[in-house]
Amino acid sequence: MVLGTRELALHIDHTLLKPAATVQDLDLLCAQAVKYGFYGVCVNPSLVSLASWKLKDESPVPVSVVGFPLGATLPEVKAFETAAVVGNGAQEVDMVMNLGAFKAGDDNLVLKDIRAVVEAADGAPVKVILETALLSDEEIVRACRLSVDGGAKFVKTSTGFGPGGATVEAVRLMRETVGPDIGVKASGGIGTYDQAIDMLRAGANRIGASASVTIVTGE
């Protein structure tokens, strides 16, 4: 698989999720997203309103995160946060799954959590972040199935704050589990063109990266 800069950029959410991200950082992120034609920009909730305003006449889509990065907040809190970021212009929502409930086998709570976000998103596509580095293959399959049952439109590998990022093996397993109609977002540790292509080849159709400019330019 060989993709040109613009074609590859259309698969990338240009990401700024560091805790100390400033308005100036956001200015640069949005300018780069427009310049290189990235699919979206993914930012923390406090910056999504400004990102939406800056991109209002541009093609990149504002994306925000919910329950980030731990996923351990209450379903009603995640729902409130989701409604807030969508109200402030987020067109997609990346939520972190409740990993503690999942590991404990409380699938009902995991489903409640996902469904609360999906309902609050009011039609905006929801991606469920699984944090695959903490999961076995069997758990990845189970998490993917719960995400689909909960109404999510994507499953996503990682927050970038966990013990590991996206792997080809995890992406391939996620794609095999969810089939062709659900998105797979590879995120975490992707910093080169070759890594991005490997993820797309394995079945991802979206890449989340802070090194997006390096990925598409090699610089």
DSSP letters for 7-22? HHHTTEEEEE--TT--
* Rounded Cα gap, residues 219 and 215, in angstroms: 8
Annotated catalytic residue within 13, 153, 185, 198:
185
Contact 8, 215 (CB under 8 A): yes
Helices (H) and strands (E) in the chain, counts: 10, 8
* Rounded Cα gap, residues 200 and 188, in angstroms: 14
127 carries an active-site annotation: no
Which helix (H) or strand (E) segment holds residue 93: the answer is: strand 92-96
Annotated catalytic residue within 13, 94, 113, 198:
94
Count Cβ atoms below 10 Å from residue 22 Cβ, excluding itself.
Answer: 11
156 carries an active-site annotation: yes
Contacts of 209 (CB under 8 A, 6+ apart): 12, 13, 14, 15, 187, 190, 191, 196, 215
* Rounded Cα gap, residues 173 and 179, in angstroms: 10
Of 93, 79, 95, 91, residue with least CA distance to 130:
95
Annotated catalytic residue within 54, 113, 156, 198:
156
For the record, the structure tokens of 124 come out as 């905006």
113 carries an active-site annotation: no
Give catalytic residue positions: 94, 156, 185
